[in-house]
Amino acid sequence: MEMKSKKLLILYATQTGNALDAAERIAREAERRACLVLIHSTDEYDASSLPEEDAVIFVVSTTGQGDTPDSMKVFWRFLLQRNLGSHWLDGVHYAVFGLGDSGYQKYNFVAKRLDKRLSDLGATAVVERGLGDDQHPSGYEAALDPWMSSLWSRLCEIKPNFFPEGPDFVASNVELIGQPKFQVTCHNIKNMDSQLSTAADFKHLEMQIGRARSMSPGKVSHEKSKPDAFLKMIKNCPLTRASNEKDVRHFEFEFVSRVMQYEIGDVLEVLPSQNPAAVDSFIQRCNLDPESFITVHPRETENHHLDNNVHALEVPIKLRTFVELAMDVASASPRRYFFEVMSFFATAEHEKERLQYFASPEGRDDLYQYNQKERRTVLEVLEDFPSVQMPFEWLVELVPPMKNRAFSISSSPLAHPNQVHLTVDVVSWTTPFKRKRRGLCSTGLAGLDPEQKIYIPVWFHKGLLPSPPPLLPLILIGPGTGCAPFRGFVEERAIQSLSGPIAPIILFFGCQNEENDFLYRDFWLFHSQNDGVLSEAKGGGFYAAFSRDQPQKVYVQHKMQEQSQRIWNLLCEGAAIYVAGSSTKMPSDVMLAFEEIISKESGAPRESAARWLRSLEKAGKYHVEAWS
């Protein structure tokens, strides 16, 4: 009989990188116990070899409305095949840790489904699945710590051969710091970039961004490194009153490099630009040479046998450009592991002790107060611990990657060929220690002057709101900036109505005050009068809820109740429902309002109304795009 592998396999499925962080943390803890580990993303692993594994740990995140991360879609489809019987995974031990957000209805849906499917296929759970929650004050780590400690004690009992040093052996962290996962090579090149022309040379800009992002450790496998296009801002208008605490803007952009085809409901991703002064301070604080040319690649390990050709293809990039485009030094907070590694390089004893405490389970809540709650940036943390000099290779691995910011497109390409419009809330807040914080991307965009020639790198994506055909009746719920995609929907229908029949649209919008933050007021009113696409004469309607204009709060769901008969009539005509906006409570409140309306109008009990809504979801007629 063949011997099964003595290696613990860890498979992760990540959308934004958190599940990878958690998987790597589990791998480090296994290695401290002298256990050999293999770690792979689910899209790098052949699912048909699962029956040969001895023990597998899955770390999977849930995205959007209970969706599987892109990197897990093929893997999951394989597991769902009917011909895999209930004994297919006999003898395989597994454990599942999920990352989710309890603000969503389908909390940790992917982890729960995976856990059930593995056990249906005959695999045996080592421990009960762990569920990490973004809403917890310490994030997913609050659930990960206790889950890991029961995982190790159970695994030691069932698989003692995984732990050659015995059940009680744990190496100290110091022995394990080892080498960073990435290697940085310096190249002796002088003035390589100077022969290239000005910033208007898109090819050059595109190459720089592509180079930096393809070398970045934060790259998620399905992302495109090079931007799809460059945009130039042509309009920057406030949509809220200046006196209002909210600042929402309407931005209009024009394509400058190539024109991309997009559809209503699509999403635009923008690469934010960092403050050059912050980039310079970081480079100075870390004693780096901004003018040196580097390439970055994974270090050779058992998992990564490097192909020398890969390196030959990588064109060196200036260190300063790499930091600026790929490392988020002044807006994102570092992770717990950053503090752990910092503690090895601290030379002042009191700094070392504080960093070790922050990295320990006991110090987790204090670290949360100091770091995430305050949104401390990498630069601020490094300045707080001046004795720490971390090698650049560690910084490359541990500084959060510069992430694109996603926005719903608020225009229709039929109405504005060659343009893209966005509706953006300019984010600012005050931390518990009364420090003013601003959103990197929204503040950057709000500060742009349409007169200047500044080119913005962007990527286009399908969002969660598919473009509806003209004869599909629509019920749209978009409070606050949730109305953004629906501006595009209404523009598109208005143009389609000029050349043929269209189905009615009813739209529910909500904001705090009619005077202060009634976004696109004139646009909605224009289309709801004179036989416009939102006019009652055309079977449509526009209903606005102003939550703070009267003593009792009025939200979109209250306006929906008032129109319950119209909603029911449209649903009977086969309407699709689209919901967009903040993910906190709104999507579930709206879902409950629909349940009540269907139950009231049809006379059916609430349970059947809920079932009916679920079948609408399955049929692709109930779409939600929510953001936190």
Binding site membership: which residues?
14-19, 61-64, 134, 375, 405-408, 439-442, 481, 547-548, 553-557, 589, 627
Cα separation, 547 vs 512, in Å, equals 5
Residues pairing with 185 in the sheet: 295
Structure tokens at 72: 């897990």
SS (H, E, C) 473-523: CEEEECCHHHHHHHHHHHHHHHHHCCCCCCCCEEEEEEECCCCCCCCCHHH
Where would I find the beta strands (DSSP E) of 239-376? 248-255, 267-270, 293-298, 317-318
- Contacts with 336 (C-beta within 8 Å, 6 or more apart), sequence order: 141, 358, 359, 364, 367
What tokens were used for 427? 């984010």
Q: Among residues 65, 550, 447, which one has the least CA distance to residue 236?
A: 447
Strand (E) or helix (H) holding 155:
helix 141-158
- E strand or H helix that includes residue 18: helix 18-32
Element (H, E) at 253: strand 248-255
188, 190, 193, 198 alpha-carbon torsion, rounded to 10°: 160
Which is nearest to 540 in space by CA: 619, 595, 475, 602? Answer: 475
The binding site for FAD consists of 375, 405-408, 439-442, 627
Question: CA of 55: how far to CAs of 37, 51, 94, 172, in Å?
Answer: 11, 10, 5, 25
CA distance 580 to 10: 35
Q: How many CA atoms lie within 13 A of 387 on its CB side?
A: 13
Q: Which residue bears the tokens 């500084």?
A: 399
Strand-pair partners of 624? 579
Detail the residues annotated as belonging to a binding site for NADP(+).
481, 547-548, 553-557, 589
Q: How many helices (H) and strands (E) does the chain have?
A: 21, 22
User: Per the annotation, where are the binding residues for FMN?
Assistant: 14-19, 61-64, 134
> Hunting for tokens 């770091």 — which residue is that?
371
Q: What is the CA radius of gyration of the chain?
A: 26
Beta bridge pairs of residue 255: 231
